[in-house]
Structure 1
Amino acid sequence: MSDKFNYEELGLKVGLEIHRQLDTKKLFSPVPTKFSDEVDFTFQRRLRPTMSELGEVDPAALEEFKKGRVFIYEGNYQLTDLVYMDEEPPRGPDKEALEVALQIAYLLNAKPVDEVYYMRKIVIDGSNVSGFQRTAIIATDGKVETPWGTVGIPTICLEEDAARIIERKEKEVIYRLDRLGVPLVEISTTPDIHHPEQAKVVAKFIGDALRATRKVKRGLGTIRQDLNVSIKGGARIEIKGVQELDMIPLIIEREVERQLNLLKIRDELQRRGVRPEDIKEEFYDVTDVFTNTKSKIIARAIKKGGKVLAIKLPKFRGLIGREIQPGRRLGTEFADRARKYVPGIFHIDELPNYGITQEEVNEVIKRLGLGEEDAFVLVAAEEERAKNALREVIKRAKEAIIGVPEETRRALPDGNTEYMRPLPGKARMYPETDIPPIRIPDELKRKIKENLPELPQVKVEKYVREYKLDRSLAQTLVDDERDELFEELVQMGVKPSLAASILVVVLKGLRKEVPIENISDEHIKEAFSLYLEGKIAKEAFEEIFKEIARNPNKTARQIAEEKGLTLLSEDEVRKIIDEVIEQNIEVVKNKGMGAMGLIMGRVMAKVRGKADGKLVSQIVKKRLQEIVGGGV
């Protein structure tokens, strides 16, 4: 990725927050951490913000409360208990989860704390039934070395994951409780990342440390990477939900681009002499202008009894439509803020469009008394909703005059971001009174530190060096977490190159055809045992694994016998080769040894999976030499 900006000159600062689910029981109850679509019961709650001990209210919690939503919770008797219905005090925390977190701490060069103190973090978006999430610092002062310099890891926390969202409606959100309480490790870095690619390097190192424990969950949604990004003159922006490692540099680059463009808009607004206090909360009812409109959105709103309201934005014309990220404009930022009340807004820079005519635009300009540099924004909805939406636009427009507002944003698949909520304040944490402090014995720390697993990259280097594996093959083997099985196969006597090839190339090749997750390590080891015993050829692995994926209750030996994949004797192979040569004798006479490829292909079509290809090749070559040399 080429540098689009001079990041040093811009003063880029990036910090990471990486969250990864642990594959243990729930953090505060002895319930399995599995997910299910079976629902045995439901209940509902409303959540409200509370003041901190200093009498402050968290702004993010307050904004969620204003949405006035009811939360419906779906539960399963096997995967939910009273703790995570908020009907019983927490137990634990889970011992295994705590030990895995300590492993991760040591792998990241951090220092575990002597005592663990749990805190409550206010969360009232409904994802936690109690209205808070329990979190505790497990270790501090870690670090990651990169080509750009050292990046600190000030805290490693062990907390509980949130419920998973099933459906979001206007005034109601449905959550499922199976994910609530899954242990989650949160790793935060210092803002010492000064280049987009450096962020990717740090995230990969942390990801490798997590995977090394073999106690983290895999798959979509099990890891969440948040970015905190700022530049000189801009603001700290928290970007949530970055799923893919390779997207990190692009998302950072796009956020830098967004902040730079917002600063340019600020400078232009200030040059035009507009001040935040110039934007008044004055709503103009222009419903009659659109009585016969061809805009379906507006016509539909009016038909339902809604109104078309407009606000005046002095000196904003030409700037609302200015692009700040590819495909996103300042007007998109306005719409993101208003979306909690209405599906969308209309602004002067994009009109006429969407069925709105130039005549209608001119009439609105006249009604509002706009000058050449002035802009308007329209909303069509029920009156109070329309007013609330326009209040959000006014607030965001005032922020545009000042610069870049601090906020939490959501990562989008194309690398852009969209507004989620204000940045959380400091008034969202208070002590957890149901969990006493947990002392970590020195003996436990010593035991964990002395038995740390190898980091994935160390294993890759070892496989390249000791087993002479191709680097990309070794990397895939480790990334797919097949390395432990690979080492077991090598200890059984399987050639490293063959073991790696079957585990990576053959199994991954079957992924689109059959459910390879049905193929267990025991299935794979049994198939290799048959190979080592001389019962099957390596060409038989693919067919055996295909059948096991479809019928996981069968053994590799059963399938080999049922499918006739057990090896032919050498005499039987010779007989088949002679038959094929006889059937193609004219080609052999004309081409001599040049017929080798054709004969091999036709023999292998008959014996594939039942004879070793190397043996077949040796016999075919010898027979052709005899025929050619004998002048047959």
Structure 2
Amino acid sequence: MSDADYDYEDLGLVAGLEIHQQLDTESKLFCPCPTELREPEEAGRTFTRYLHPTKSELGEIDEAALEESMVDREFEYLSYDTTCLVEEDDEPPHRVDREAMDVTMEIAQLLDASVVDQVHVMRKIVVDGSNTTGFQRTMRVAGEGAIRTDEGQVGIEDLMLEEESAQRVEETDSGVRFSLDRLGIPLVEIGTKPDIRSPEQARDAAERIGMLLRSTGQVKRGLGTIRQDVNVSIADGARVEIKGVQSLDDIDDIVRNEVRRQVELLDIAEELGERQAYRGKTEDVTEVFEDTDSGVIRGALDDGGTVMAVALHGFDGLVGREIQPDRRLGTEFSDHAKRHGAGGIFHTDELPAYGITEAEVESLREAVDATDPEDAVALVADDPETAQMAIEAVGERAMDALDRVPEETRDATEEGTTRYLRPLPGAARMYPETDVPPVEPDPSEVDRPELLTEKVERYGAEYDLDSGLAEQVAYGEYMPLFERVVGDGVDPTLAATTFESTLTELRRDDVVVENLTDDHLADALALVDGGEVPQEGLDDLLRALAADPDLTAEEAVEREDLGGVGDEEVREAVVRVVERNAEQVEEEGMGAFSGLMGECMGELRGKADGDTVSSVLREEIQERA
């Protein structure tokens, strides 16, 4: 059965979302450092840490953190001139940033969520290196809200305010390198109730929440600033948390593919049960491959490695069975091996291949007593310690396949599928933060933001923008700046077309629009709107500012000589053009207008308004015709 044939109601699909969105505040959540990202090359120094899990108040260790710590890795951190001791974990955190709390309360209003009487900061154990402390600070601000979707209401369980993690830069020989510029940026996490019943509703709910967040005008935009996690289960399957869905367009595919994976795993478990499958011997089978032509195995052995194998009785043909697009049960086994440092696995459903011969496969089967036609064998070639840990992980995952879909955290891929990441975290992951006092939020101190859908209607009614342009502006990244400049008196149509058309055209011409600050744009529009720079000169003015961001708009106008000219200079320039083309004017009359208009604008080098030039040119042509 294809995933398109699934009856999600019959399967008992239950899904929920966790939306993580960075806030666009001036300061980080627990220190006054700026929230701007830096380039790794700007780092002034680096330092390293090794992180280990700690016990909860009840003396328990979280299973996910424990598995993460089994891989011994060094974490290197890039520090900048904007990095402080709080970010480096050499100073206690400061009080919760007031601006971040206010924005979070605005979001609570849009979600119809109730703000708690007192906010307590908690520590969430994280030992993957993404935080210098070994934990993430988080706090519950509101809950019990709801949003609307086309398929019904979806409840909001929690609205959390927490600190963003450090940004992973690259893998190193000894571990992972992180950048501290992102660490501590305020981040809201919105968790829905498990009310979602279809892939389409999951996407609809995520889009609705995204619209509500952008309505505040105080969330960051761009790649990596918003992430979606999806919790998915079916009636006979298990709850699986899928992390890091970057695009809204991927959410429905992620849900569909996870449902398919669980359906396939249940079918595999049923067949394994009928075959009375079990995990067999784990053996060092290095001798089988002493003379192998397999490049992977030969490379491991030449480096002093070993080959470990496990017998999987009753698994033949099922290890290679596809459970998601281009992913098989064997891929699941390989994910677990990779978590312990191995490059991957081989299994007999895909052999002989990769330089491994039929004779070696037969010898392999004999070495682990997997000679029945229904038996399979998985093997790992690596250094002795890694190979041992990896093959044990494969064997344990094979045991899970016998009777259930394992509960786990998975990582979203660009192809809309998922891979194993770690076990689901438990209650032992959280404990109180003692360095930050509680906060007593007052929702009456903030106003409910205007929804983007409401802005679209208002822009049309109040500013006479057509519906398409109004929607572009309301949903675009320059919406807050649009409201600012229009509030300062700039013509709304001029501002809207600049943000949604002019800047787009400049990007297409490879102008580095990202160099233009809000002040650049606001000042440039004010100069044009005030008549100090003709509208035709705006393009050149923005190009000049993008090329040299240290200039102010006024300085760029002076340097590029973009100031406007008076009516007398306009007429003089038009007369020169008309007289140069006197013969054409005499023959064609107003038919010469179009060609001469371009010449006039070139003569004036964009220093005059097009309407003014057009009016004067018509007069001069009519006079001579």
Give the TM-score normalised by structure 1.
0.89
Q: 2:74 aligns with which of 60, 70, 73?
A: 70
Structure-2 separation of matches of 1:587 and 1:267: 88
1:523 aligned onto 2:526? no
Structure-1 separation of matches of 2:623 and 2:216: 58
**Counterpart in the other structure of 1:163:** 166
Instruction: Give per-residue Cα distances to partners, 1:107-133, cap 9 Å, x unaligned.
Output: 211111111222222222232333322
Instruction: Give per-residue Cα distances to partners, 1:27-86, cap 9 Å, x unaligned.
Output: 3334333444454555444333333344433110110121123334444464221x4444
Q: 1:472 aligns with which of 468, 471, 480?
A: 468
Q: 1:447 aligns with which of 442, 445, 450?
A: 445
Kept in 1: contact 2:149–2:204 (CA 8 A):
yes
Q: 2:98 aligns with which of 72, 95, 99?
A: 95
**Counterpart in the other structure of 1:456:** 452
Kept in 2: contact 1:311–1:376 (CA 8 A):
yes
- Cα offset, 1:593, TM superposition: 5.4
**Counterpart in the other structure of 1:543:** 540
Structure-1 separation of matches of 2:588 and 2:290: 87
- The alpha-carbon distance between structure 1 residues 623 and 100, as it changes in their structure 2 partners (threshold 3 A), is same
Structure-2 separation of matches of 1:48 and 1:488: 48
Structure-2 separation of matches of 1:499 and 1:180: 34
> How is 1:403-418 mapped onto 2 (pairs within 5 angstroms)?
403-418=404-419
- The alpha-carbon distance between structure 1 residues 607 and 307, as it changes in their structure 2 partners (threshold 3 A), is same
> How is 1:176-575 mapped onto 2 (pairs within 5 angstroms)?
176-274=179-277, 278-280=278-280, 282-339=281-338, 340-367=340-367, 368-440=369-441, 444-448=442-446, 451-491=447-487, 494-512=490-508, 513-570=510-567, 572-574=569-571
Kept in 1: contact 2:62–2:428 (CA 8 A):
yes
Which deviates more from structure 2 when the two are superposed, residues 14-23 or residues 107-116? 14-23
Structure-2 separation of matches of 1:80 and 1:517: 27
Kept in 2: contact 1:34–1:79 (CA 8 A):
no
- The alpha-carbon distance between structure 1 residues 32 and 623, as it changes in their structure 2 partners (threshold 3 A), is closer
**Counterpart in the other structure of 2:28:** 26
Q: 1:79 aligns with which of 69, 80, 83?
A: 83
- Cα offset, 1:499, TM superposition: 2.1
Q: Helix, strand or coil for the counterpart of 1:402?
A: coil
1:61 aligned onto 2:65? yes
Amino acid across the alignment from 2:349: D
Which deviates more from structure 2 when the two are superposed, residues 328-337 or residues 359-368? 359-368
Which deviates more from structure 2 when the two are superposed, residues 299-308 or residues 119-128? 119-128
Kept in 1: contact 2:122–2:139 (CA 8 A):
yes
Amino acid across the alignment from 1:334: F
Q: Helix, strand or coil for the counterpart of 1:52?
A: coil
- Cα offset, 1:459, TM superposition: 1.0
- The alpha-carbon distance between structure 1 residues 470 and 357, as it changes in their structure 2 partners (threshold 3 A), is farther
Kept in 1: contact 2:87–2:184 (CA 8 A):
yes
- Cα offset, 1:546, TM superposition: 0.4
Which deviates more from structure 2 when the two are superposed, residues 474-483 or residues 318-327? 474-483
> How is 1:576-595 mapped onto 2 (pairs within 5 angstroms)?
576-577=573-574, 580=577, 595=592
Kept in 2: contact 1:348–1:376 (CA 8 A):
yes
Kept in 1: contact 2:154–2:196 (CA 8 A):
yes
Give me the CA root mean square deviation. Answer: 2.9
Structure-2 separation of matches of 1:35 and 1:535: 35
- The alpha-carbon distance between structure 1 residues 260 and 525, as it changes in their structure 2 partners (threshold 3 A), is same
- The alpha-carbon distance between structure 1 residues 137 and 386, as it changes in their structure 2 partners (threshold 3 A), is same
Amino acid across the alignment from 2:306: K
Structure 1: segments with no counterpart, 5+ residues:
none
Q: Helix, strand or coil for the counterpart of 1:143?
A: strand
Instruction: Give per-residue Cα distances to partners, 1:230-282, cap 9 Å, x unaligned.
Output: 122221111111122222222222222222222232233233332xxx212x2
Structure-2 separation of matches of 1:6 and 1:582: 78
Q: 2:135 aligns with which of 132, 136, 140?
A: 132
Give the TM-score normalised by structure 2.
0.90
- The alpha-carbon distance between structure 1 residues 608 and 314, as it changes in their structure 2 partners (threshold 3 A), is farther
- Cα offset, 1:431, TM superposition: 2.5
Which deviates more from structure 2 when the two are superposed, residues 149-158 or residues 348-357? 348-357
- Cα offset, 1:387, TM superposition: 2.0
**Counterpart in the other structure of 1:10:** 11
- Cα offset, 1:134, TM superposition: 2.3
Q: Helix, strand or coil for the counterpart of 2:378?
A: strand
**Counterpart in the other structure of 1:104:** 107
Structure-1 separation of matches of 2:129 and 2:364: 41
- The alpha-carbon distance between structure 1 residues 178 and 447, as it changes in their structure 2 partners (threshold 3 A), is same
Kept in 2: contact 1:283–1:387 (CA 8 A):
no
Kept in 2: contact 1:80–1:178 (CA 8 A):
no
Which deviates more from structure 2 when the two are superposed, residues 107-116 or residues 51-60? 51-60
Q: 1:47 aligns with which of 30, 48, 51?
A: 51
- The alpha-carbon distance between structure 1 residues 593 and 26, as it changes in their structure 2 partners (threshold 3 A), is closer
Kept in 2: contact 1:312–1:370 (CA 8 A):
no
Which deviates more from structure 2 when the two are superposed, residues 124-133 or residues 38-47? 38-47
Structure-1 separation of matches of 2:133 and 2:561: 60
Instruction: Give per-residue Cα distances to partners, 1:452-493, cap 9 Å, x unaligned.
Output: 321222212211333332333223322334234334444555
- Cα offset, 1:416, TM superposition: 1.4
Structure 2: segments with no counterpart, 5+ residues:
none
- Cα offset, 1:329, TM superposition: 1.5
Instruction: Give per-residue Cα distances to partners, 1:489-524, cap 9 Å, x unaligned.
Output: 445554432321112110232235233233333333
Q: For this pair of structures, how many residues does the alignment match?
A: 617
Which deviates more from structure 2 when the two are superposed, residues 113-122 or residues 466-475? 466-475
Kept in 2: contact 1:67–1:171 (CA 8 A):
no
Percent of aligned positions that are identical: 48
Structure-1 separation of matches of 2:333 and 2:479: 50
Amino acid across the alignment from 1:109: D
Kept in 2: contact 1:80–1:177 (CA 8 A):
no
- The alpha-carbon distance between structure 1 residues 267 and 411, as it changes in their structure 2 partners (threshold 3 A), is same
Structure-2 separation of matches of 1:433 and 1:485: 39
Structure-2 separation of matches of 1:624 and 1:29: 67
Q: Helix, strand or coil for the counterpart of 2:507?
A: coil
Kept in 2: contact 1:33–1:79 (CA 8 A):
no
Which deviates more from structure 2 when the two are superposed, residues 588-597 or residues 257-266? 588-597
- Cα offset, 1:203, TM superposition: 2.2
Q: Helix, strand or coil for the counterpart of 1:198?
A: helix
